[in-house]
């Protein structure tokens, strides 16, 4: 459930703030509109997934503007956003909240802060070329339905794309961090 303003008990310490964080976000293409926000709350009022979020969208923007980098990059809210763009459409200041969230997710990824499930999906794509392997049972079902055989995936091409985009190095970080956790 989303936290309301009065649910914050922990005081903000200036020593924990990153005053350049908002500029770091604003310097990205996706985050370029963040500085326009004046905290009206319209984005949060129309959010269809608000009940699943740790923080409301306007709170994430405010936390970013304040410089609460660690808290913002570690929140599940970024990854639970439905990316419906309703917040973008309704914002009276033209803040592209969904896009700002993309920027924040990219930054979180660069710090290897990615939900475990997404890392596993990426690992499957790298190893199989698809999110999930098609089983013999599924192939039989497809045949019974008159559907064609699932085409072979060009695994080398998929792996090359993932290497060029840097995903392979993120997967390596994942593997190394899991080894040190054990």
Which residues constitute the domain of residue 77? Answer: 12-110
User: How many Cβ atoms are within 10 Å of 36's Cβ, its own excluded?
Assistant: 14
Please give the tally of structural domains in the chain.
2
Q: Are residues 96 and 149 in the same domain?
A: no
Q: Are residues 164 and 74 in the same domain?
A: no
Q: Are residues 62 and 120 in the same domain?
A: no
Q: Are residues 105 and 124 in the same domain?
A: no
Question: Of the candidates 51, 84, 110, which is a domain's last residue?
Answer: 110
Cα angle: 124, vertex 178, 164; to 5 degrees: 45
182 pLDDT higher than 50: no
Note the pLDDT tens digit of each residue in 112-168.
898 988 888 888 899 888 888 888 899 999 999 999 988 889 999 999 998 998 888
pTM of the predicted model, to two decimals?
Answer: 0.77
Q: Are residues 98 and 27 in the same domain?
A: yes
50 and 2 Cβ atoms separated by less than 8 Å: yes
Q: Are residues 96 and 163 in the same domain?
A: no
């Amino acid at each position: 459930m989303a936290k309301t303003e009065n649910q914050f008990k922990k005081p903000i310490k200036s020593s924990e703030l990153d005053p350049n964080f908002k500029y770091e976000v604003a310097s990205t293409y996706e985050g370029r509109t963040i500085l326009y926000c004046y905290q009206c709350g319209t984005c949060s009022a129309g959010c269809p997934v608000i009940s699943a979020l740790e923080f409301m969208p306007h709170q994430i923007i405010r936390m970013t503007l304040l410089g609460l980098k660690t808290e913002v990059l570690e929140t599940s809210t970024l990854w639970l956003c439905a990316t419906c763009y309703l917040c973008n459409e309704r914002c009276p200041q033209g803040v592209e909240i969904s896009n700002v969230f993309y920027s924040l997710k990219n930054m979180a990824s660069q710090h290897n802060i990615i939900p475990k499930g997404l890392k596993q999906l990426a690992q499957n794509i790298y190893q199989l070329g698809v999110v999930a392997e098609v089983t013999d049972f599924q192939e039989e079902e497809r045949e019974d339905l008159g559907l064609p055989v699932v085409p072979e995936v060009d695994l080398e091409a998929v792996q090359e794309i993932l290497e060029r985009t840097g995903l392979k190095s993120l997967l390596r970080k994942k593997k190394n961090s899991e080894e040190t956790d054990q």
